[in-house]
Amino acid sequence: MSKIVRTTILTCTVFAACATLGRASDETPASALDRLRTGNATFVANASQALPVTADQRQALTKGQHPFAIVLSCADSRVPPEVIFHTGLGELFVVRVAGEALDKSVLASIEYAAEHLHVPALVVMGHESCGAVKAAIETKPGAASMGPNLDYLVKNIKPAFARMRTAADAEHLRDAILANVEQVVNDLLARSEILTHLHATGKLQIAGAYYELESGRVRFSEPVQPTPDVSHASPSAQHQQR
């Protein structure tokens, strides 16, 4: 039995909703990213309102979920993906953790959405003034412990900008946040056979993104190309809004 098949069985054991799966979102990988861009444009234009949620919608969602995009973003209270992309219940599969830091639980959550819910797009979104990235920059070797859990988080983020000149000022912090997004995208593919396979076969598009707190604008990278070299995953080279 291959590793991928084994993982599939395990994730179905963990997620009780597997029995309701099978129907994919109506979106293609490309249209899913376009839908995120359109939703964000509505948000930026101050044209978005909270989407109504009716009892019928809640009832329909008890039968299963068919989100059109996965968003891995920071836990920061200022960057809720459902608001930023103007989406409602059941439309986004959101995984949030400070600094978008990966661990096995985060990877498993994303794999579940991509493999079992057939979600066609994955966005890794950093944001302006990210405190987790700033803490990783400011924590120097030999610094006093912040406690085992915060130390773990900082240690997890730090490799993203180990080779760049970093400082906590706005310009350098932005570069570090972009580098972290790039590192997370690359790590997702390096550490997940499931995601790599879905990406290589065109079933999953992956893009990096950067959210600006004041404007509300999300700047996307080009979708990562399914080649052995995924080093161009960063939104840093593609700052134009798409």
For Zn ion, the binding residues in 211-240 under the rule CB under 5 A are none
Judged by CB under 5 A, the residue of 130, 135, 181, 209 near Zn ion is 130
**Residue 79 Cβ vs Zn ion, minimum distance, rounded to whole Å:** 7
CB of 127 to Zn ion, least distance (A): 6
3-class SS letters over 54-72? CHHHHHHHCCCCCCCEEEE
The span of 17-25, 39-47, 122-130, 163-171 binding Zn ion (CB under 5 A) equals 122-130
Question: What is the nearest approach in angstroms of Zn ion to the Cβ of residue 14?
Answer: 27
Rounded CA gap, 215 and 193, in Å?
37
Q: Is 76 in the site for Zn ion (CB under 5 A)?
A: yes
Burial of 212 (0-12, 13-18, 19+ CB in 10 A): middle
State the DSSP H helix or E strand holding residue 217, giving kind and residue range, or none if neither.
none
Size of the site for Zn ion (CB under 5 A): 4
Q: Minimum distance from CB of 99 to Zn ion (Å)?
A: 6
Candidates 138, 170, 172; CA nearest to 157 is 138
Cβ 75 to Zn ion shortest distance, Å: 7
Q: What is the DSSP letter of 228?
A: S
> Least distance to Zn ion from the beta carbon of 22, Å?
35
Residue 101 per-residue DSSP state: -
Each residue 4-43 as x (binds Zn ion by CB under 5 A) or -, in order, gives ----------------------------------------
Candidate segments 88-96, 127-135, 152-160, 229-237, binder of Zn ion by CB under 5 A: 127-135
Under the binding rule (CB under 5 A), the answer on residue 115 touching Zn ion is no
Considering the complex, state which of residue 68 and residue 211 has its C-beta at the smaller distance from Zn ion: 211
Of 6, 224, 208, 204, give the one whose Cα is nearest residue 117.
Answer: 204
Pick between residue 157 and residue 188 the one whose CB is nearest to Zn ion. 157
Q: Which stretch binds Zn ion (CB under 5 A): 81-89, 131-139, 216-224, 227-235?
A: 131-139
| CA–CA gap between residue 46 and residue 59 (Å, rounded) | 30
d(CA 139, CA 233): 26
Pair 220, 209: CB distance under 8 Å: yes
What is the DSSP-derived secondary structure letter of residue 205?
A: E
Residues that bind Zn ion (CB under 5 A): 74, 76, 130, 132
